[in-house]
Amino acid sequence: MGDLSSSTNPPDDHVTLIEEIDQIMEHWSDEQQEFAEKEEKLQAERSHFLADYETLADSVIKPTMHAIVGRLEQDGGGGSVWEGTVGDKHPGRLILWMSLRGKLTETPRQDRNPYLQLDLNPGGRRVDVWEGDMWEGRGTSRDSTPWQLSEITADAVTQRVLGILERATEHGGEFDPPVPFG
C-alpha cells in the first residue's frame, strides 16, 4: 500500500467545518452539565420540602387532628386519623375521618363520612386539600384550595374542620329512609 497521509488530509476549509463538531459537542456537554445542576437543585429543594413537611405534620397537623378526634368523642361523635402514601405522586397522605354520632364502627368512606384529606404534593411544593361533608347520605366531596407549608397552622386545620362539620350537620337533619317495597 502506498502513503495514505497525502490522500487522507482534508482541505483546509473541510478542517474548519470538522472543527464545528468541537463546538457542537462542547455546547451539548454544557447543556448536560446545566441539566444535571438543575436536577440536583430540584432534588435538594424536594428533600428540604419533604423534611419541612414531616416536621410540620408531626408537630402541628397530626396533633391537631388527634385533638379534634378527642373533642368529637367528648361531644358524642368520633373520628380517626389515617396516614399513608399513594404512589409517587402523593408520598404523604393524612385523612381526618369524622363521625357526628358515636365512634366510627365501619371503615370510613368519602361517600359516608365527613373528612379532611391532605395530600403532600412535592412536585408542586404544596399540600393538596380535599374536604367532604357527607353525612346520612347527603353532602359533597370536593377539592379545596391547596396549602403552602407556611399557611398550615393548628388554627388553619381547625378552621377547615369547623367548616366541614358545619356543612355536615346541615345534612344530618331528618333523614328519610328508603320506603320498603310492599
- Residue 171, Cβ density class (10 Å: 0-12 exposed, 13-18 middle, ≥19 buried): middle
The set of residues, in sequence order, having a beta carbon less than 8 Å from that of 113 and lying 6+ positions away, is: 97, 98, 99, 104, 132, 134, 135
Supply 24's cell numbers.
Answer: 457542537
Computed over every residue of the chain, the mean pLDDT equals: 85
pLDDT tens, residue by residue, 6-25? 556 666 676 678 888 888 88
Q: What is the pLDDT of residues 36-61, one digit of tens each?
A: 888 888 888 889 999 999 999 999 99
Q: Which of 6-10, 33-37, 100-104, 135-139 has the highest mean pLDDT?
A: 100-104
| Long-range CB contacts for residues 172-180, cutoff 8 Å, separation at least 24 | 172/100, 172/135, 172/136, 172/138, 175/136, 175/137, 175/138
Q: How confident is the model at residue 182 (pLDDT cuts 50, 70, 90)?
A: very low
What pLDDT score does 36 carry?
83
Read off the pLDDT of each residue in 89-107 and give the average, rounded to a whole number: 89
What mean pLDDT do residues 102-108 have? 90
pTM: 0.74
Q: What is the pLDDT of residue 75?
A: 95
- Kindly state the average pLDDT of the residues 120-127: 91
CB of 119 closer than 8 Å to CB of 93: yes
Tell me, what amino acid is at 124?
Answer: G
The conformation of residue 124, written as its DSSP 8-state character, comes to: T
Domain limits, the chain: 60-171
